[in-house]
Structure 1
Amino acid sequence: MSHHPLLEVRGLQTRFFTRAGAVNAVNNVSFTLERGKILGLVGESGSGKSVTGFSIMGLVDKPGRVVGGQVLFNGRDLGQLREREMRKLRGNRIAMIFQDPMMTLNPVLRIDTQMIETVLAHKKVSRAQARELARDTIGMMGIASPEDRLMAYPHQLSGGMRQRIAIAIALLHQPDVIIADEPTTALDVTIQGQILSEIQNLTERYGTSLIWITHDLSVVAGLADEVAVMYAGRIVEYGSVSDVLDRTTHPYTMGLLNSLPSNNRHGTRLKQIPGMTPSLLSLPDRCAFADRCAHRTQACERMPERTAVSESHWVRCFNPILIEEAA
């Protein structure tokens, strides 16, 4: 029997058809995710990382549309499923945690009502059993007094507590894959650290695979197994955490690393990547990062293909940073 990765994304393309023209939000993105592994999807705002997550889930709203590529889950092409079949998978085998927990939580319903309905949507159990599962899942997230939390309305909870509840809802059915779209960005560092630790423990316990979407490479360093760095709708560098963070080869990845406060001497100005992300409406038919890159040469007037750095590490760049140069 042939082995399928749990999730395989092949040449994914998503466009938004606006009056101004077609926005190439996700442009030929490919990666695989094995069971129990965590992939960090990293990039600036507007790089296409969130739209990649929504495209996998089949949640791209008009005027957006997936126009090419495949998303294979356990070997099944999700693009070929009817909406009813996709709904069976969504929230059950594949779940998403949003940046704003209020995208998950209904402000006018108590937490227990929302969690019980989520359980009953996919499991044939009694309401009492569904409530018990909801309470236990909240407890697993390290939330004290889960019974009291179940009786609360979302507005009665803090931002960190709401996000924990939203994560608990995503975990209710012990899904195979969770896509987390910057769920800790709005939280303070202490709460963020606690939630990251809880997520890591839960993925280890259940063998759940995770795509963690973020702009913060320091979060990915302590959480992920593999990293995909996105720029202007494309993955520009991909590999294991140690490959991408310790043997960085793409100038954009190096720019992201250099802009972290921890990588700058105290009292000095933060290093910034010059310029702006190009408009996804009119992407040049060449390296999209060229205008901001100190390593630019004549070769960059063409579109870079994937180049292997090692067996587990590739980059889209004509002038990759050499390891000795980066050291």
Structure 2
Amino acid sequence: MTHIPTLAVEGLQTWFHTKAGVLKAVNGVSFEVDRGKVLGLVGESGSGKTVTGFSIIGLVDPPGRVEGGRILFNGTDLARLPAEELRQLRGARIAMIFQDPMMTLNPVLRIDTQMIEAIRTHSNVSYKKARSQARDALGQVGIPSPDERLAAYPHQFSGGMRQRVAIAIALLNKPDLIIADEPTTALDVTIQAQILFEVQKLCRQTGTALIWITHDLSVVAAIADEVCVMYAGRIVEQGVIDEVLDRPTHPYTQGLIGSVPGHNRPGSPLQQIPGVMPSLLTLPKGCSFRLRCRYADSACQVEPEMHVVANPYHATKCWHPLSGEVSHGI
């Protein structure tokens, strides 16, 4: 029997057609996420990780559009689905947690109205049952006095509390796939740890697949089974989380790990990646990281292919893959 992952992204291309030219925000991205697994999508701002998430769920606005590739959700290509069928999947079988909770919450409706509607739109349950599920979901993400909070409006919550409500809404229908775009950035570390625990437990218990988009390697180390490192619209390294973090083979991945404070000796300056990421409108020929890489040579003027290193579960897109373990405090 052929194995079908919950999500398989194959050669995804999402481009923005601007007056200045074509901006290739996502250019040939491929990965898979299985049932009950967590994939970390890591990279600095502008690397394309959020656009990847929006592309999967069909929320890329003009002038951007998916130009190529396949987005296979349980074997069905989402990129070819009619808009109404994709809308039916969103919120029921696929959920997204946005970085800004007000992209999820309606400011003029009470929390109970929004949560109950989210449940009853996709499930044939009574109002009483839906309200009970909504209350339990708020408690699951650490919101005290959930009965009272259900009667409140979004403006009566702090930013962190609004984000917890948005996360609770994403968890309501126990979807097959959740895409989380840096949802815990505004939360304190205690609540962040609680939510990471609850999300991991949901994945293990229900088989939900999770894509966690972040720039924070410490969060990825805590939650992910596998990781994809993105740079300038492409994945430059991917594999099992321990393998990639312990033995990074791409200079960019090594630079990201080196910039984490826990990796450096007390009193010593943070390691930095020189320069800045090039404009996606004017990417250099060949490897897009070569102008910032100390290992770059003439071979890097040709773009490398993704190839396996060390073991079948670790691949890199580099002509000069690094070797050897690193000691880090992630």
TM-score (norm 2): 0.96
Stretches of structure 2 that go unaligned for 5 or more consecutive residues are none
Amino acid aligned to 2:316: V
* Count of residues paired in the alignment: 326
Amino acid aligned to 1:323: G
Partner of residue 320, structure 2: 319
Q: Bigger CA drift: 133-142 or 58-67? A: 133-142
Instruction: Give 1:134 shift.
Output: 1.1
C-alpha offsets along residues 8-40 of structure 1, whole Å, 9 cap, x if unaligned? 000000001111111000000000110000000
CA distance in 2 between partners of 1:237 and 1:294 (Å): 18
Q: Secondary structure at the match of 1:299?
A: helix
Is 1:153 paired with 2:153? yes
CA distance in 1 between partners of 2:63 and 2:128 (Å): 42
Does the 8 Å contact 1:142/1:198 carry over to 2? no
Amino acid aligned to 1:181: D
Is 1:124 paired with 2:124? yes
Partner of residue 137, structure 1: 137
CA distance in 1 between partners of 2:274 and 2:222 (Å): 27
Q: Secondary structure at the match of 1:256?
A: helix
Partner of residue 259, structure 2: 259
C-alpha offsets along residues 133-188 of structure 1, whole Å, 9 cap, x if unaligned? 21122222232221111011111112222111101100111001100000111222
Amino acid aligned to 2:134: A
CA distance in 2 between partners of 1:22 and 1:312 (Å): 33
CA distance in 2 between partners of 1:162 and 1:207 (Å): 26
Is 1:305 paired with 2:316? no
Q: Secondary structure at the match of 2:227?
A: strand
Q: Secondary structure at the match of 1:135?
A: helix
Does the 8 Å contact 1:160/1:191 carry over to 2? no
C-alpha offsets along residues 75-98 of structure 1, whole Å, 9 cap, x if unaligned? 111112111110111111010000
CA distance in 2 between partners of 1:227 and 1:311 (Å): 14
CA distance in 1 between partners of 2:66 and 2:136 (Å): 37
Instruction: Give 1:128 shift.
Output: 2.3
Partner of residue 45, structure 1: 45
Instruction: Give 1:126 shift.
Output: 2.7
Partner of residue 275, structure 1: 275
Amino acid aligned to 2:156: Q
Partner of residue 187, structure 1: 187
Partner of residue 243, structure 2: 243
Partner of residue 114, structure 2: 114
CA distance in 2 between partners of 1:271 and 1:88 (Å): 46
Does the 8 Å contact 2:141/2:194 carry over to 1? no
CA distance in 1 between partners of 2:88 and 2:275 (Å): 44
Q: Secondary structure at the match of 2:183?
A: coil
Q: Secondary structure at the match of 1:272?
A: coil
Partner of residue 11, structure 1: 11
Partner of residue 219, structure 1: 219
Does the 8 Å contact 1:40/1:226 carry over to 2? yes
Instruction: Give 1:103 shift.
Output: 0.8
Q: Secondary structure at the match of 2:121?
A: helix
- Aligned CA RMSD, in angstroms, stands at 1.2
| Percentage identity across paired residues of the two chains | 65
Amino acid aligned to 1:164: R
Q: Secondary structure at the match of 2:179?
A: strand
Q: Secondary structure at the match of 1:305?
A: coil
Q: Secondary structure at the match of 1:41?
A: strand
Amino acid aligned to 1:229: V
Q: Bigger CA drift: 48-57 or 293-302? A: 293-302
Does the 8 Å contact 2:14/2:27 carry over to 1? yes
Instruction: Give 1:262 shift.
Output: 0.4
Amino acid aligned to 1:151: A
CA distance in 1 between partners of 2:140 and 2:219 (Å): 22
Instruction: Give 1:65 shift.
Output: 0.2
CA distance in 2 between partners of 1:127 and 1:61 (Å): 34
Amino acid aligned to 2:114: Q
CA distance in 2 between partners of 1:137 and 1:193 (Å): 17
Does the 8 Å contact 1:304/1:318 carry over to 2? yes
Amino acid aligned to 2:271: K
C-alpha offsets along residues 31-82 of structure 1, whole Å, 9 cap, x if unaligned? 0110000000000000000000000000001111000000001111111211
CA distance in 2 between partners of 1:3 and 1:24 (Å): 31
Amino acid aligned to 2:317: R
Instruction: Give 1:219 shift.
Output: 0.9
Question: Which structure 2 residues correspond to residues 287-306 of structure 1 after superposition, within 5 A?
Answer: 287-306=287-306
Amino acid aligned to 1:246: D
